[in-house]
Structure 1
Amino acid sequence: MHTASPHTARLINDRMAYEVLLSHGPLSRAELQQRTGLSRATVAELVDRMVESGLISQAGQAQTRRRGPNALLYGVVADRAHVAGVEVRPDRILVSVNDVTGHQLGTAELPQDPAAEPDRLVYDAITAALADARIGGLDGVVIGTLGVVDPVSGDVAYIQALPTWHSNLLPGLRARLGVPVLVENEVNLVGLAEHRLGAARGHDTFALLSLGEGLGGAVILDGRLHRGRSGGAGELAYAPTGVGGGRLNQLVDGPAVRALAARHGLPAGDAVEAVRQAAPRFLDELAERVTVAAQGVCAVLDPGFVVLAGEIGRAGGPALAARVEERLREATPLPTQVAAGTVEGDPVLRGAVVIALERLHRQTFGLTT
Structure 2
Amino acid sequence: MHAPRTAAAGRTASPATARLINDRLALQLLQSEGPLTAGQLKSLTGLSRPTVADLVERLQDAGLITVVGESGAQRRGPNARLYGIVADRAHLVGLDLRTHSVTVAVADLLGEVRDERTAPVGPDDTPGTAVSTALAVMDKSLAAAGAHQPHTIAVGAPGLVDPATGRLGGTDWIPSWHAALVGELRARHAAPVLLENEVNLAAIAEQRDGAARDRDTFVLLWLGHGTGAAVVLDGTLRRGASGGTGEIGFLPVPGTAALPTASGCDGGFHSLAGSAAICALAAEHGLPAAPGTGPGTATAPPSGAAAGTPSAVADADAPPAEAVVRAALSAGDTGAAFLDALAARLALGVAAVCAVLDPGCVVLGGEIGRRGGEELAGRVGAQLARLSPLRTDVRAGTVGGRAVLRGAVLAARDAAQDDLFTPTG
Which secondary structure does the structure 1 equivalent of 2:220 belong to? strand
Pick the aligned partner of 1:144 from 156, 160, 172: 156
Task: Show the counterpart of 1:316.
Answer: 372
Q: What are the residue-to-residue correspondences of 1:61-140 with 2, within 5 Å?
A: 61-65=70-74, 71-112=80-121, 113-116=125-128, 122-140=134-152
The structural deviation recorded for 1:177 is 0.7
Pick the aligned partner of 2:216 from 196, 204, 213: 204
Task: Show the counterpart of 2:275.
Answer: 254
Q: Residue 37 and residue 341 in structure 1: after superposition, are their counterparts in 2 closer, same or farther (change >3 A)?
A: farther
Q: What are the residue-to-residue correspondences of 1:24-63 with 2, within 5 Å?
A: 24-63=33-72
Which secondary structure does the structure 2 equivalent of 1:116 belong to? helix
Does the CA-based 8 Å contact 1:205-1:222 persist in structure 2? Answer: yes
The structural deviation recorded for 1:169 is 5.2
Does the CA-based 8 Å contact 2:159-2:197 persist in structure 1? Answer: yes
Does the CA-based 8 Å contact 2:128-2:177 persist in structure 1? Answer: no
Distance 1:87 1:362 in 2: 22
Distance 2:83 2:416 in 1: 20
Which secondary structure does the structure 2 equivalent of 1:287 belong to? helix
Distance 1:274 1:46 in 2: 57
Which secondary structure does the structure 1 equivalent of 2:149 belong to? coil
Q: Which amino acid aligns with 2:325?
A: V
Q: Which amino acid aligns with 1:22?
A: Q
Does the CA-based 8 Å contact 2:157-2:178 persist in structure 1? Answer: no
The structural deviation recorded for 1:167 is 5.3
Which secondary structure does the structure 2 equivalent of 1:315 belong to? helix
Q: Residue 33 and residue 318 in structure 1: after superposition, are their counterparts in 2 closer, same or farther (change >3 A)?
A: farther
Q: What are the residue-to-residue correspondences of 1:156-171 with 2, within 5 Å?
A: 156-165=168-177, 170-171=182-183
Q: Residue 118 and residue 3 in structure 1: after superposition, are their counterparts in 2 closer, same or farther (change >3 A)?
A: farther
Q: Which stretch of structure 1 is more off in the superposition, 244-253 or 259-268? A: 259-268
Deviations 1:56-105 (A, max 9, x none): 11111113345988711111111110000011111111110101121212
Distance 1:68 1:145 in 2: 50
Q: Which amino acid aligns with 1:81?
A: A
Distance 1:42 1:114 in 2: 58
Alignment of 1:175 with 2:225, yes or no, is no
Does the CA-based 8 Å contact 2:27-2:85 persist in structure 1? Answer: yes
The structural deviation recorded for 1:203 is 1.9
Q: Residue 36 and residue 341 in structure 1: after superposition, are their counterparts in 2 closer, same or farther (change >3 A)?
A: farther
Q: Which stretch of structure 1 is more off in the superposition, 1-10 or 136-145? A: 1-10
Alignment of 1:22 with 2:57, yes or no, is no
Task: Show the counterpart of 1:335.
Answer: 391
Which structure is higher in RCO with an 8 Å CA cutoff and minimum separation 6? 2
Alignment of 1:287 with 2:343, yes or no, is yes
Q: Which amino acid aligns with 1:141?
A: I
Distance 1:282 1:288 in 2: 10
RMSD of aligned Cα (Å): 2.5
Q: Which amino acid aligns with 1:74?
A: Y
Deviant stretches of 4+, over 6 Å? 67-70
Distance 1:161 1:114 in 2: 15
Q: Which amino acid aligns with 2:339?
A: L
Distance 1:166 1:69 in 2: 52
Distance 2:114 2:75 in 1: 38
Q: Residue 207 and residue 68 in structure 1: after superposition, are their counterparts in 2 closer, same or farther (change >3 A)?
A: closer
Normalised by the size of structure 2, how large is the TM-score? 0.79
The structural deviation recorded for 1:250 is 2.0
The structural deviation recorded for 1:214 is 1.7
The structural deviation recorded for 1:345 is 4.0
Alignment of 1:302 with 2:302, yes or no, is no
Distance 2:338 2:143 in 1: 46
* Unmatched 5+ stretches in structure 1: none
The structural deviation recorded for 1:111 is 3.2
Alignment of 1:9 with 2:18, yes or no, is yes
Distance 1:259 1:37 in 2: 61
Normalised by the size of structure 1, how large is the TM-score? 0.91
Distance 1:189 1:223 in 2: 14
Deviations 1:308-366 (A, max 9, x none): 11111112222222221222221112221111112134000000000100111111134
Q: Residue 337 and residue 29 in structure 1: after superposition, are their counterparts in 2 closer, same or farther (change >3 A)?
A: same
Which secondary structure does the structure 2 equivalent of 1:233 belong to? coil
Does the CA-based 8 Å contact 1:195-1:201 persist in structure 2? Answer: yes
